[in-house]
Amino acid sequence: MGFRMGIVGLPNVGKSTLFNALTRTAAAQAANFPFCTIEPNVGEVAVPDPRLEKLAAIAKSKEVIPTRMTFVDIAGLVKGASKGEGLGNQFLANIREVDAIAHVLRCFEDGDVTHVEGRVNPVEDAQTIETELMLADMESIEKRLQNIVRKVKGGDKEALQQERLLKAAMAALEEGRPARTVEVDAEDAKAWKMLQLLTTKPILYVCNVGEDEAAEGNAHSDAVAKMAQEQGAASVVISAKIEEEISQLDAEEQAMFLDELGLEEAGLDRLIKAGYDLLHLQTYFTVGPKEARAWTIKSGTLAPQAAGVIHGDFERGFIRAETIAYDDFVALGGEAGAKDAGKMRAEGKSYEVKDGDVLHFLFNA
C-alpha cells in the first residue's frame, strides 16, 4: 500500500536540494530493506519508527523491514501553470497521481539566491501555487459539467451525483476556497475522490530556513505555521542545506552533527512523520524470527483490509487476527509472554486495527 507525496515549489526555494537529500537517503537505505526503487524523480524513504527495532530485538528477527513513503519531485511551477505555462501540464498531471502535496517555501534570506518574484514572502508563494491549482480545477469542472449534460437530463444517478459534487466544488472555488474545504458525506466519499480535483489534496508546507534557524525557525516560518493552522493544513521547519549534508554522513556522524546543531532528529525524519500524520496513516507490525515488519494503513482500517495490505488472499480468506498491543508485547517480553498473561486477543472482521498492534492473521487459502 504505497503512499506518494509530491514535492512542489517555485524556482529557487530549495526544492531540488531537499529532493536530492531525500534520494541520497533512499539510496543509503536500499541495502536495509527491499523494494527501494530509485528513479530520477522518485525517492522511497523509510518511515522512522523506533518501535520496530525494539520489536525485532525482542523477537530476535533476522530482518527488519520498515514501512515506506514515496516522494515525487513534481515538475517546476510558474504563474500560468493552469494554462500550460512552463511545464504546467506535466505539473498538473503529476499532482493528480500523488496522495498529498509537500509545498516547499523559501523562508530564508540570501542575496545570492534570486527569488522569482524579487522578494521573500512564503505566504504569497503558497497562494501563487494554490491559485494555479484552483484555476486548473475550475477549468476541469467546467469541462466535466459540459460532458455529463446529456446523462443528467436522462436522469442517470451516477451523473446526477457527479454534477452535485462538481457544483459544490465549484461554489467553494468561486469563493476562493480550495475543494478540500467542502464537507462530503460518507456515501459521496468514493465519488468525490474519483473527481481527482487538485485542491482536494492535503498540503504540508515545508519551511526551508537557513542553517542557523533549523531548530527554532524564523518570522517567515512562523507566518507559514499561522497560515497552515488557519487552513487546517500542516507545516514543518527544515533546512534543505543541512539535510543534504546529513544525507552524506553515516549514522554515527549524523548523530554527532545533529547534536552540534541542537537538533533532536533530522529534518527529513520530521518531514516524513508530518506527511504520515497528514495522510492519517498508522502502522501495525508483524513480528517473528524471520522478520519484523511495519505495514502502513489508514486510520480506521478494519482487520480484513489490514490483512489485505500483505496479500489479497489474506483479506479474501480472513478468519481472525491474533492481536497484541505494542506496549504489552514489549512489557511481557514477546508473543509467548503476552499469550501467557492473557494479552493476546482473537479479533474478528469488525475489529478496527490500532496503531502499534502486533498482528498475526489466520485465513483460508
Residue ranges at the known binding site: 12-17
Task: Determine which helix (DSSP H) or strand (DSSP E) holds 105, and give its type and residue range.
Answer: strand 100-106
Q: Which of 141, 271, 281 is nearest to 199 (CA)?
A: 141
Task: Determine which helix (DSSP H) or strand (DSSP E) holds 8, and give its type and residue range.
Answer: strand 4-8
46, 32 contact by CB (below 8 A): yes
* Alpha helices by DSSP H, the chain: 15-29, 50-59, 88-96, 122-147, 149-153, 157-174, 189-194, 219-231, 240-246, 251-261, 267-278, 303-310, 312-316, 326-331, 335-340
99, 70 contact by CB (below 8 A): no
Half-sphere exposure of 52 (CA within 13 A, CB side): 21
Rounded CA gap, 130 and 150, in Å?
Answer: 32
Show binding-site residues for ATP.
Answer: 12-17
Rounded CA gap, 97 and 4, in Å?
Answer: 8
